[in-house]
């Protein structure tokens, strides 16, 4: 394995355009080696309060008076700055999360694209004139919330931070962002890059820290106008309770157990590549991972054979060496996935993988072999629970009704992939699948497509024009005519 390191470094919070250090700190580890990468200031309630105050001041003293065109210009500069610093950001992201470098490059480009997309969209946010009578003018306008809070997970730190701060800033809010303690480094660098690009002090503040301290303090802060949370179901519920206590609205983007549904008429060469990619990408640590394969009995054997070949041929290594698969984020996450694999041995037939690799060169890292369990009943734990690792379950179906029932048969409802040449069937599944996004003959989507959950996958819409509207609130106004 190539020994490439960012070197151990001290990183601080970013409040009101300045580096803010604390007495307390936490260590960030390289998931591929277990070695320390950085020592990061652990912000707590005091720094969160400073950050919310700084954001409020920046909002009142300037940002709320900016025109949509001015904010669009700023967002375009940020997008260009992310691209200009793209190589550095991608290397930080790859080393901090363990993901293969080419995936980190995709994530950085995605981050830049969010700012570009919302710079284009923000000048198209209109209120409306309402025909309530000829003696008055009745209309609505859209206003920002003021200060928005953002709490993000470790799996796509840059992509998920920019997914919500770009529309929030575009809408005219100022932000306080708490990245995950496992992988905060790209977000901290992003804050510096945005400042250097000309974003005024206090408009974006980043408070690294532990969830129960910095995260809880941010979620419970009464100075927020809105909170956006991306993460697990149990923490999401706690966040929803904390924001409700202050009557602060929250978007909760939570977990998933998403299916790829492959019918007998599907293009199996294309489907097999994408099904494999949808669970191996980011070592299966993707909210919208295609972690369940539902396959029609007529093509089950051929598809499974193709998948086993792809999984068996996938190389493992350090993210910076750009392997097929990197490590999972932590020892704790590795153990959690291994526990599910142990459970899976009693719930299905293990076809490939099934544990940590034996390679001594990978010993220090949190690696898991790409794993497939076949013949898994829909009630099995490994088919119901989010494993968040490179583990695919395979369940066979005989007709469309059964496919829909299996697909909808978990507590989650995030996304689904449908593989068929039959347009009528595709339409039927788009209608009947109880999830936020359906992708037919693909499993990819861009920033333009609304992304939302059903059931335990949460609520609120990210990406798309709708997310921009979601960071605004409506005000109604009426003006009576004095002369008629
Ligand atoms: P997590 O819920 O443990 O942590 C997410 C964030 O919440 C982190 O910043 C963490 O520090 C913070 N946090 C933890 N405890 C907190 C508390 N008591 N109060 C306030 N904040 C707290 O999730 P994770 O393990 O980092 O991420 C994995 C989960 O995220 C998976 O379930 C995955 O499906 C989900 N996810 C969802 C989406 C989506 O868009 N739906 C995207 C990515 C990840």
Residue 3 has pLDDT above 50, yes or no: no
Global pTM reads: 0.97
Distance CA 371, CA 349 (A): 11
Task: State the pLDDT confidence band at 8, using cuts at 50, 70 and 90.
Answer: confident
Residue 4 has pLDDT above 50, yes or no: no
Query: If you measure from the C-alpha of residue 155 to the centroid of ligand 1, how many angstroms do you get, rounded to a whole number?
Result: 9
Query: If you measure from the C-alpha of residue 231 to the centroid of ligand 1, how many angstroms do you get, rounded to a whole number?
Result: 2
Counting from 1 in the atom list of ligand 1, the atom nearest the Cα of 235 is: 2
Over residues 392-421, mean pLDDT: 98
Domains 9-254+458-475 and 259-447 share a fold: no
Secondary structure element (H or E) that encloses residue 268, with its range = helix 268-280
Considering only CA atoms, which residue is closest to atom 21 of ligand 1?
Answer: 215
In the structure, which protein residues have their CB atom closer than 6 angstroms to any atom of ligand 1? 151-155, 160, 178, 180-181, 211-212, 215-216, 219, 230-232, 235, 238-239, 253-256, 287, 386, 388, 414, 453
Give CATH for domain 259-447. Answer: 3.40.309.10
Over residues 327-352, mean pLDDT: 98
Considering only CA atoms, which residue is closest to atom 38 of ligand 1?
Answer: 287
Residues 312, 414 contacting (CB under 8 angstroms): no
Checking DSSP bridges between strand 451-452 and strand 461-462, what pairing results, if any? antiparallel
Query: If you measure from the C-alpha of residue 229 to the centroid of ligand 1, how many angstroms do you get, rounded to a whole number?
Result: 7
Residue 454 has pLDDT above 50, yes or no: yes
**In this structure, what token pair is assigned to residue 401?**
């009704």
Q: What is the pLDDT of residue 155?
A: 98
Query: If you measure from the C-alpha of residue 180 to the centroid of ligand 1, how many angstroms do you get, rounded to a whole number?
Result: 8
Yes or no: domain 9-254+458-475 corresponds to CATH 3.30.70.100: no
Task: Kindly list the catalytic residues.
Answer: 253, 287
Residues 324, 100 contacting (CB under 8 angstroms): yes
Q: What is the pLDDT of residue 258?
A: 98
DSSP state string for 20-71: E--S-EEEEE-TTT--EEEEEE---HHHHHHHHHHHHHHHHHTGGGS-HHHH
Which regions of 242-370 does DSSP assign to beta strands (E)? 250-253, 258-262, 290-296, 349-352
pLDDT above 90 coverage of the chain, percent:
97
For residue 20, which of 209, 233, 154 has the smallest C-alpha distance? Answer: 209
Considering only CA atoms, which residue is closest to atom 10 of ligand 1?
Answer: 211
pLDDT digits (tens, 9 = 90+) for 205-218: 999 999 999 999 99
pLDDT digits (tens, 9 = 90+) for 277-313: 999 999 999 999 999 999 999 999 999 999 999 999 9
Any idea where the domains of the chain sit in the sequence? 9-254+458-475, 259-447
């Amino acid at each position: 394995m190539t020994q490439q390191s960012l070197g151990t470094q001290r990183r601080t919070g970013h409040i009101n355009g300045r580096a803010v250090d604390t007495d307390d700190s936490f260590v960030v580890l390289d998931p591929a080696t277990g070695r320390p990468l950085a020592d990061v200031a652990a912000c707590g309630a005091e720094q969160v309060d400073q950050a919310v105050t700084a954001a409020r001041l920046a909002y009142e003293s300037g940002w709320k008076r900016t025109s949509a065109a001015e904010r669009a210009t700023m967002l375009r500069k940020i997008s260009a700055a992310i691209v200009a610093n793209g190589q550095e950001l991608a290397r930080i992201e790859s080393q901090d999360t363990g993901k293969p470098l080419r995936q980190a490059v995709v994530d950085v480009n995605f981050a830049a694209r969010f700012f570009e997309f919302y710079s284009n969209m923000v000048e198209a946010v209109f209120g409306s004139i309402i025909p309530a009578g000829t003696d008055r003018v009745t209309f609505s306008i859209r206003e920002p919330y003021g200060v928005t809070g953002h709490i993000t997970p470790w799996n796509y730190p840059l992509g998920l931070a920019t997914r919500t701060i770009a529309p929030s800033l575009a809408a005219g809010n100022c932000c306080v962002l708490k990245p995950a303690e496992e992988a905060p480094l790209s977000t901290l660098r992003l804050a510096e890059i945005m400042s250097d690009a000309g974003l005024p002090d206090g408009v974006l503040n980043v408070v690294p820290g532990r969830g129960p301290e910095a995260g809880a303090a941010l979620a419970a802060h009464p100075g927020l106008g809105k909170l956006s949370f991306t993460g697990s179901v149990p923490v999401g519920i706690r966040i929803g309770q904390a924001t409700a206590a202050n009557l602060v609205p929250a978007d909760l983007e939570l977990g998933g157990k998403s299916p790829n549904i492959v019918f007998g008429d599907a293009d199996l060469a294309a489907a097999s590549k994408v099904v494999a990619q949808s669970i191996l990408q980011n070592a299966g640590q993707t909210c919208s991972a295609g972690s369940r394969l539902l396959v029609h009995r007529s093509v089950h054997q051929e598809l499974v054979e193709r998948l086993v070949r792809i999984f068996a041929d996938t190389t493992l290594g350090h993210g910076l060496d750009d392997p097929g698969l990197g490590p999972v984020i932590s020892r704790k996450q590795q153990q959690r996935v291994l526990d599910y694999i142990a459970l899976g041995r009693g719930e299905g037939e293990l076809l490939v993988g099934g544990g940590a690799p034996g390679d001594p060169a990978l010993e220090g890292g949190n690696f898991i072999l790409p794993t497939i369990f076949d013949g898994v009943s829909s009630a099995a734990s490994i088919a119901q629970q989010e494993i968040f690792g490179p583990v695919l379950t395979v369940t066979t179906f005989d007709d469309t009704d059964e496919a829909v029932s299996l697909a909808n048969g978990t507590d989650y409802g995030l996304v689904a992939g449908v593989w068929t040449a039959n347009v009528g069937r595709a339409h039927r599944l788009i209608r009947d699948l109880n999830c936020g996004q359906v992708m037919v003959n693909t499993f990819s989507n861009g920033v333009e497509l609304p992304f939302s959950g059903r059931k335990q996958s949460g609520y609120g819409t990210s990406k798309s024009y709708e997310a921009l509207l979601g960071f605004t609130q409506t005000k109604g106004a009426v003006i009576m005519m004095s002369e008629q």
